[in-house]
Structures are given as structure tokens and as C-alpha cells.
Structure 1
Amino acid sequence: MPATCNVLVLISGSGSNLQALIDSTQTGADSSKSSPARICAVISNRADAYGLARAKQAGIATQVLDHKQYDGREAFDAALMHAIDSYDPQLVVLAGFMRILTPDFVRHYAGRLLNIHPSLLPKYKGLHTHQRALDAGDREHGCSVHFVSEELDGGPLVLQALVSVQADDSTTSLAQRVHAQEHVIYPLAVRWFAEGRLQLTPQGAMLDEQLLPASGYQTRTQP
């Protein structure tokens, strides 16, 4: 098993993906199945984010940096980088962190910054992805884990979960099924990175020294 990989998680809200990551990194009775990933800290830009309570309950260090207290995105991101680096993480994970990151921030963590997005990227970057999928009459929807680049919701794809769209789906029902898959694939991608299997190269994302396809590794749920 590789040495421990320190992971820092950035949040803005309830932290359901954070909880999935916490659950996946807790050491169980069978240590052979435990992940080398260790969440070293959780940082939020909102003091009322419920994810902070989740982290505290798991005994994980927390910190709040209120973006409203800084003069612009550059000043906030500079302070955020300083805070993150004080924990010396090998991987930074965005889990519902509702901030557009500056190019300096993205470059600073190049190759060790992951995000999850509720669509099958490159479709539906930005917000309201479930409604947009329904409006387009898509038969498949899903979620994507990707390395973060300077392009919003861009960067090489690592892993996608495909979810069938049902005829009677609402945005709520579709979102629930997509969220359930987020909680499966995000911990898996983090584990791959922690185990040294996943890396970003000039050619793209690689898993087990094999270049991943443009769509990333895909999993499909049953209808």
C-alpha cells in the first residue's frame, strides 16, 4: 500500500461529496481495503457550510476563509493558497466549492486539483445541468470527475458515471440519481490518485500508465 496521501477538500455547502470521501477514507476492520487517501483539512468560504460540521464530527481540521473579506478574487485566492499550503496536501479536491478560481490558483495546483461536475462533460458546463439535460431531451445524463484547468469545468476527464434519463424524470429525481453516482466515482478517483495510479501528463490524464480516452473512464448504472 502506498504511503498516506494528504487530501485537502474545499467546500461551500452541505458537503455530501465530502461525506462520501470521509466514509471512503476511514480505516475499517479490513485494512487491505482501506484507501491511502487521508483528508488532512476542509476549508470553506462560508462559515455556515454544513460540510464543516461533517468534518469536525470526523475529527478533521477545518478553516473558514470568507471571500467577502477580501478585495477581489486574486486576493482571496492568494490567501486560500497560503491556507492550503500550510497543510501540505498532495491533492486538492473541489467538493461543491462555489468559486471561480483564478489562473494563478489553477497553475499552482496543476496536476493535483480535482473537481466533480453534475453533467457528462463537455456537455452542460456551469449551472442548472439537470434541467438543461431534460430540456434537450437527453437519454443519458451523469457526472464527471476531471482535473481542473483554467477553463471553467474544463480539464482532462478522469471518470464519468452515465445515468439513464427516465420519461417521468423531474430535475429533483434526476439530480438524486446523479448525486448518488457522484458519491461513488469521486472517492474512486481520489483513491486512484492516492495510490499513484492516476496522474496528469502533458498528453492528458493517465490511469495505470495508460492514456485515458477524451471521455475518461466511464461507468454505467442500470436503468
Structure 2
Amino acid sequence: MAAIVEAARARHWQHRHGARVAAVISNKAAAQGLSWAKEQGIATAALDHTAFENREAFDAALMSEIDRHEPALVVLAGFMRILTPGFVRHFEGRLVNIHPSLLPSFPGLKTHQRAIDMGCRFAGATVHRVTAELDHGEILEQAVVPVLPGDTADALAARVLTQEHVIYPRAIEALLQKG
């Protein structure tokens, strides 16, 4: 999230594309990103998913909070919840995410360990459109990193993360350029 905010400023998205990071919303009130965003002067909100009766109720409240900011894009960054089909439909075409694997390989969790266990020589990250099917939307951008001998999941994750910080802002800017 911070890489996206910093890229928006450094690349003058407000001036060039009429776009800015309007808000940062989390399902965890203690999320470090909320504090950082607030320090940057960005609107923040926290909606505790455990306070809602079910997934649909939480997603409805989240939709309402997002809609208050009238976003052209809804960018998921570190949001580790499966969204309901109704939520995805509501933001269809405007909802993007990043996943720490070279999709379509290794959707879901524990991607780095799974790549190591399978003997992959390369791993990476994928920016994609969000669909109702987990980690299966249109691929917008990918980055590849080598899996090194003796790699641990944490070491591989750290290498992948450096590339996530490059490709996610780049993919968002490409979407902004398309309008």
C-alpha cells in the first residue's frame, strides 16, 4: 500500500491522471498501514469483520465505506479475506489485487513454500483483476524472481515482495492511463 501511495505522489498521478489514493480501509484496526496512511493525510477506516453476523454483512458494510470515496479503482493490498460474489460484482472491472505467485500457479495461501516444495526454478507475483473465483482474474502484470538453492519461504517471499512494490504501482498506472 505504501509503495502505491508513494508511486502516486512521485509519478504525479493527481496531475497526470486525475487520480489519488482516496482512502485506506482495513478489517484490522491495528493495521500498520492505517497509521501510516493517516500520517500521510489519507482518509482511513477500520471495519472489524468479526463484528458482523456473516461475510455478506461485512462485505455490504465494506462496499458502503468504499463507495463513500467514489473510487475509479479499488486496489486490494494486504487484504486477506475472500470477497463475496456480490462485492466482486459491485466493483466489477474496477477491483484489482496482487498475489505472491505466478498465476495461474499456486492460487491461495502458502505460495512460496508450495513453489519450493514443487521444485520450481522461478516464482514471482501477479497483479490481476478480481473475479468471484479466487486468484483467477485477468492478469495485468507479473514479475519473476529465481528460486535459489536453499531458499526458505521467508527468503523467497522477501525477494518477491521487492518486485510486488514495482509491478503493483505500474499496473495501476497502466489502468489509469486507459481510463
Normalised TM-score (structure 1): 0.76
- How is 1:92-171 mapped onto 2 (pairs within 5 angstroms)? 92-171=74-153
Q: Structure 1 residues 35 and 130, CA, compared in 2 at 3 Å: closer, same or farther?
A: farther
Q: Which residue does the alignment assign to 1:20? A: 3
Q: Structure 1: which 5+ runs fail to align?
A: 1-17, 198-223
The root-mean-square deviation of aligned C-alpha atoms, in Å, is 1.7
2: CA distance, partners of 1:62 / 1:111: 23
Q: Give per-residue Cα distances to partners, 1:59-108, cap 9 Å, x unaligned.
A: 10000111111110001111111111011000000101011100000001
Greater relative contact order (Cα < 8 A, sep 6+): 1
In 2, the alpha carbon distance for the partners of 1:35 and 1:189 equals: 15
What's the CA shift string for 1:32-68, capped at 9, x where partnerless? 9x76331000111000100001101111000011111
More strand by share: 1
Q: Give the Å deviation of 1:168.
A: 2.4
- Which AA in structure 2 matches 1:23? E
Q: What secondary structure, in the 3-state scheme, does the structure 2 residue paired with 1:145 have?
A: strand
Partner secondary structure for residue 124 of structure 1: coil
Q: For residue 127 of structure 1, give the secondary structure of its aligned residue in structure 2.
A: coil
Aligned length: 178
SS of the residue corresponding to residue 39 of structure 1 reads: coil
CA contact under 8 A between 1:133 and 1:141: conserved in structure 2? yes
The yes-or-no answer on 1:48 pairing with 2:48 is no
Taking only the aligned residue pairs, the percentage that are identical comes to 54
Rounded Cα–Cα distance in structure 1 between residues aligned with 2:159 and 2:168: 15
What is the TM-score of this pair, normalised by structure 2?
Answer: 0.95
Query: Structure 2, unaligned stretches of length 5 or more?
Result: none
Equivalent-residue separation in structure 2 for 1:27 and 1:129 (angstroms): 31
* Distance across 1 between alignment mates of 2:106 and 2:44: 32
Distance 1:89 1:124 in 2: 30
- Report the 3-state secondary structure (helix = DSSP H, G, I; strand = E; otherwise coil) of the residue aligned with 1:133: helix
Q: Mark the CA change 1:35 to 1:44 in structure 2 (over 3 Å): closer, same or farther.
A: farther
The letter for the 1-side match of 2:28 is R
Q: Report runs of 4+ in structure 1 exceeding 4 Å deviation.
A: none
SS of the equivalent of 2:106 reads coil
Deviations 1:127-161 (A, max 9, x none): 11000000001001000000000001111111110
